[in-house]
């Protein structure tokens, strides 16, 4: 009996220590890493984190992929801010922003983004830049607020035909993403996610490797992918990535985004084409180019450029291509035409 009580007491102490470690670490992260931006209320008690840099007549707005934050644009925003006004942010449920209040579909996200811009006093015209899922969000923004958009750059935008309900075979992938995100929430609350990601990005990585090995081949595969993608980002943002991935709310937000994919596809598969706004679409060299029919469904003035050296993360694989594209679109917006990159 004494042995049982001792084990129970030790377990309880470890759980309490984990909660405290996570609580204090989260407060310290927020104080240390959010001073460059600002938080704005957009209604219903929701606060979004916004990062602004540079100056200029038009503002370049960055929208990240499905589980990514403003950090995804760190290098690009730094460079673009040298010749333009820029703004990136964390969608509701991700990064430093508060939990989401609505389903993570393009329409709901665009309404929140538009309210954020109004609250921040960031006036149009906007040059919209969206990666992957963020490409669908920026398409929807141009459909709902066309008079505020001067040009658009879609960085390997999400293809609706590849996801449920148009492609039911991918439902298992969505279910797996929801399940893993759900498992990660209590792990993060206990501070174990903080231990793992801090080891991976800020220390030797030995603890992260041992945890991945304990999880089997799937854990080692995830670790390899995470290392590969994050290593393309500037080292100075790695501790902030670790801070984001230490938060239980991050995994809750990820789950909300993943479970909304079928609704997103239903919303966007028959979306009206963008009219009268130049669109530059960057397609990875490792993917099939979009057909002319697909381009026409996006808009009536779409030019496709192949990023020959890139996979899905073009802005990390070929950042200068995107920087040049943004500069080109800012110039081209005044004449409302897209000139092919030479």
What does the pLDDT average to over 44-72?
Answer: 95
Architecture of domain 40-166+272-333: 3-Layer(aba) Sandwich (3.40)
pLDDT beyond 90 at 218? no
Closest Cα to residue 312, out of 120, 114, 157?
A: 157
Q: In terms of DSSP H, where are the helices of the chain?
A: 2-33, 74-80, 106-120, 133-144, 171-189, 192-202, 206-214, 217-230, 238-245, 248-259, 261-268, 292-298, 314-317, 319-333
- Spatial contact of 70 and 62, defined as CB atoms under 8 Å apart: yes
Residue 99 pLDDT greater than 70, yes or no: yes
The percent of residues above 70 in pLDDT, for the chain, comes to 86
177 vs 230, more confident: 177
Residues 255-267, mean pLDDT to the nearest whole number: 97
pLDDT in the model for residue 340: 43
- Quote the pLDDT of residue 291: 96
Instruction: Give residue 252's pLDDT.
Output: 96
The domain limits of the chain are 40-166+272-333
Tell me the C-alpha distance between 137 and 110, whole Å. 6
DSSP category for residue 36: T
Q: Which residues of 177-194 are buried (b: 16+ CB within 10 A; e: fewer)?
A: bbeebeebbebbbbbbbb
Task: Please check the confidence at residue 339 and state whether its pLDDT lies above 80.
Answer: no
Binned at pLDDT 50, 70 and 90, residue 282 comes out as very high
Average pLDDT, the chain: 89
How far apart are the C-alpha atoms of 284 and 297, rounded to whole Å? 19
Question: What was the pLDDT predicted at 28?
Answer: 95
Handedness of CA 226, 231, 232, 237 (dihedral sign): positive
Least confident of 15-29, 270-284, 308-322: 15-29
Residue 250 has pLDDT above 70, yes or no: yes
Q: Please say whether the beta carbons of 267 and 243 come within 8 A.
A: no
Residues 55, 40: Cα–Cα separation, whole Å: 20
Residue 63 pLDDT grade (very low, low, confident, very high; cuts 50, 70, 90): very high
Can you give the pLDDT at residue 342?
A: 41
pLDDT > 90 in the chain, percent: 76
Place 115 in a pLDDT band, splitting at 50, 70 and 90: very high
pLDDT at 167: 96
Residue with tokens 């919303």: 267
For 95, 96, 240, 243, 244, the CA distances from 30, given in Å and listed in that order, are 10, 8, 10, 8, 10
pLDDT on residue 341? 46
Query: Structure pTM?
Result: 0.91
């Amino acid at each position: 009996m004494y042995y049982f009580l001792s084990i129970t007491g030790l377990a309880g102490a470890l759980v309490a220590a984990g909660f405290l470690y996570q609580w204090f670490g989260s407060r310290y992260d927020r104080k240390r890493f959010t001073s460059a931006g600002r938080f704005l209320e957009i209604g219903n008690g929701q606060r979004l984190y916004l990062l602004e840099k540079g100056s200029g007549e038009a503002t370049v707005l960055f929208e990240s992929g499905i589980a990514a934050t403003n950090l995804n644009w760190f290098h690009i925003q730094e460079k673009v801010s040298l010749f333009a006004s820029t703004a990136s942010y964390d969608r509701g449920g991700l990064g430093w922003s508060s939990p989401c209040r609505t389903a993570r579909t393009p329409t709901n996200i665009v309404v929140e983004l538009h309210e954020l811009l109004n609250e921040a006093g960031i006036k149009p015209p906007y040059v919209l830049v969206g990666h992957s899922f963020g490409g669908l969000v920026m398409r929807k923004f141009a459909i709902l607020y066309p008079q505020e958009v001067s040009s658009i750059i879609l960085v390997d935008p999400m293809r609706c035909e590849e996801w449920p309900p148009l492609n039911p075979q991918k439902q298992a992938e969505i279910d797996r993403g929801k399940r893993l995100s759900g498992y990660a929430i209590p792990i993060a609350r206990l501070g174990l996610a903080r231990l793992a990601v801090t080891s991976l990005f800020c220390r030797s990585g030995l603890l992260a490797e041992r945890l991945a090995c304990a999880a089997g081949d799937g854990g080692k595969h995830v670790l390899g992918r995470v290392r590969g993608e994050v290593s393309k980002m500037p080292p100075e943002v790695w501790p902030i990535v670790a801070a984001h991935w230490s938060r239980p709310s991050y995994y809750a937000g990820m789950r909300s985004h993943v479970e909304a994919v079928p609704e997103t596809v239903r919303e966007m598969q028959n979306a009206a084409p963008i009219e009268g706004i130049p669109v530059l679409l960057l397609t990875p060299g490792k993917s099939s180019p979009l057909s002319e029919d697909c381009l026409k469904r996006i808009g009536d003035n779409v030019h496709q450029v192949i990023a020959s050296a890139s996979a899905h993360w073009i802005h990390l694989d070929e950042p200068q291509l995107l920087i040049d594209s943004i500069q080109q679109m800012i110039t081209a917006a005044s004449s409302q035409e897209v000139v092919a990159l030479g």
